[in-house]
A and B are shown apart, each in its own frame.
Chain A
Amino acid sequence: MGDGLLEMRDVSVTFSSRRGTVRAVDGVSLDVRAGEVLALVGESGCGKTTLIRAILGLEPLTDGSILVEGKPVNQRQRTLRDLRRRVQMVFQDPTGALNPRHSIYDAVAEGIRIHGVAGNEPDLVAGALSRAGLRPPENYMPRFPHEVSGGQRQRVLIAGAIALEPQLLLADEPVASLDASIRGEILALLRDLVDQHGLGIIAVTHDLGLAWNIADRIAVMYLGRIVEVGEAEEVLANPQHPYTKALLSVVPEMERLEQQILTGETPDPSRIPAGCRFHPRCPLVASGEAERLGVLGKCTGVDVELVQRGAGHWSACHAVP
């Protein structure tokens, strides 16, 4: 066991539905260290939200294990309560996540009360609000969510999460619903929490610019699997997996790259294709490149695992030598 704050080994989460088994997360191994931001990147339906819920103990694992500071996440009530103090979540839509009839003070104090955090409650709330950049905190405490701006609401949510002094923060699209000008401020706050207080953060996003802005490492997820993971600069400058390359090519500023717009949307996790799960949308297969490299048979027939391609850089593609 390393110094991993969060260690996931072969995590699988499956759901059964009328249409059969849905393998939402299908064998994910991933670590997060204290003091680092991991960007978890992928399209809707790739399983990133299910993975996050599994870390919070909200989804029972079908297979594998998740350890937070060496302690396994399981469904027992007492461990869950302890876990949720150490692992906190910040949701995408701050307006929806706040109770409109609770003052900002109550929104932040709720977690403190539930977990019986030792200390003077008003002081803890004030401390959390000012760490989240709402200063002076007394000005914000009596106000209600509708009386502050969208960016400030997101800060209230972050204050509520860090009031419990968690070790791991899970942020689901933390800036997707915010205005451009506020985006940078919130990202700077998240980065600051990592640098100043040693938190680990998983930022779930489909925004590669966010990853460039704050992430130490990037994990790219496709149909329940990590297809590429590595140091952020390495993955963005030298992407290996064709899916990562396609994602990078559609970032509007990346005009020097030829756009590879994949057709269709993320396929259905209840019908995962045989072989490499990306092959039906893979530009290398479509262009005949895979055939030329002599790997087409493997692409369509053999499942592919993550292979180390360099220092701290793994990818799962048959066509990468």
Chain B
Amino acid sequence: MSLLELRDLHITYRSERGDVPAVRGVSLTIDPGETVGLAGESGCGKSTIAGAVLRLLPKQTLIGGQVLLDGEDVYQMKPGQLRAARWTSAAIVFQGALHALNPVQRVGKQIAEAILLHSSHSKQVATQRVGDLLERVGLPPHRARAYPHQLSGGQRQRVLIALALACEPKLLIADEPTTALDVMVQAQVLELLAELQRDRGLGLLFITHDLSVLTSTCERLAVMYAGRIVEDGPSHDVFGTPEHPYSAALARAFPTIGDPASRMNPTGLAGDPPNPANLPSGCPFHPRCDKAIEACSATDVELRQVGVARRAACIHIPVEGGIDRG
């Protein structure tokens, strides 16, 4: 059974100025021990998905489709079940470690609280476990007595990972876990995540806009644009030979050092991400696309199969068997 399965997920935020469709039909599965990367720009809906998995979105948000954690529909769970699922089935590591921790409580106490709430362990056992968890993420156990401000950015991010691991979840959702960190510390955190996945068979959903980070950490990659997956497949293929013009633009944004084509030649993508409340017609990427043809403004293209395990949603990809199943 998959750890996480999203079935045609639709998420619409309600606001005074109207409905905002943030996620428009996303399907995705993560198996035990698998690392899946979700890439895309601000506003593409990737963090909304993270929130939806653990039912953390505002109450009035409209959710369509299904979110299955360990085969169970998260949106059908009773409050008690949901509380248990939130720590033991899946846990989230947010970006901005400074805001996610309570500034006036020692970090060890914050981790112990999660353990005590979700298990029948005694206080002593919990304290012991806090020490183990901190060691696991590469911090000396005595740092449990530190307050968040006494730790550096990288150390705080490690504390957040330790906190997320407190109840031994099977799935870890990491939302931009390294964005605010220095390169060397980023490398340390990425190595830690890779180790956890390898040693404990942890499933990992890794969300970031940095395609190069995803490629070095994840086996599979899904690229999102305007609330939909526009390309997915093995990460080296998606990054190395992108099929969708948007994935190609994202990949080009991260130069390969030593590649003469990018030397003194930074490339980006003209234009800005679309406003989810007011999406362009047809393929939402067409106003920024350098391969757009006239039909693109009228046809909304669904994902099409490219090769064995790859899909992309672009009008230039031939439809298999001549029939557009979208």
Contact = CB atoms under 8 A, between A and B. Distances in A.
Interface in A222-281: 233, 236-237, 246-248, 250-255, 259, 261-263, 265
A43 B153 CA distance: 12
A16 interface: no
B183 A187 contact: no
B257 A212 contact: yes
A217 to B, nearest CB: 13
Nearest to A212: B257
A181 B266 contact: no
Given A43-B184, A253-B212, A191 B266 contact: yes
A303 interface: no
16 contacts: A180-B250, A180-B253, A182-B272, A184-B266, A185-B269, A191-B266, A206-B182, A206-B183, A207-B183, A212-B263, A213-B262, A251-B183, A251-B212, A253-B216, A253-B256, A261-B184
A183 B266 contact: yes
Contacts of A58: none
Contacts of B241: none
A290 interface: no
B257 A254 contact: yes
Given A236-B257, A253-B212, A188 B182 contact: no
A187 to B, nearest CB: 4
Interface stretch (B3-11, B16-24, B101-109, B186-194): B186-194
Interface string B233-263: 0000000000000000110111111100011
B184 A247 contact: yes
Contacts of B212: 209, 251-253
A185 B41 CA distance: 15
Interface residues of A, number: 41
Interface string A160-200: 00000000000000000001111111111001000000000
B127 interface: no
Interface residues of B, number: 41
Given A213-B264, A213-B266, A261-B191, A183 B183 contact: no
Among B155, B211, B272, the one with the most A-chain Cβ atoms within 10 Å of its Cβ is B272
Given A248-B257, A254-B257, A184 B252 contact: yes
A180 B258 contact: no
Q: Secondary structure of the A side of the interface? A: helix
A185 B270 contact: yes
Contacts of A99: none
A248 to B, nearest CB: 7
Interface stretch (A27-35, A60-68, A81-89, A148-156): A148-156
B273 A179 contact: yes
Interface string B171-199: 00000000000111111100100000000
Nearest to A207: B183
A260 B177 CA distance: 21
Contact of B184 (A209, A213, A246, A253): A246
Contacts of A21: none
Contacts of B268: 181-188
B271 to A, nearest CB: 8
A214 interface: yes
Interface string B133-150: 000000000000000000
A149 B257 contact: no
Contacts of A254: 257
Contacts of A263: 188
Contacts of A246: 184
A253 B254 contact: yes
A179 B184 contact: no
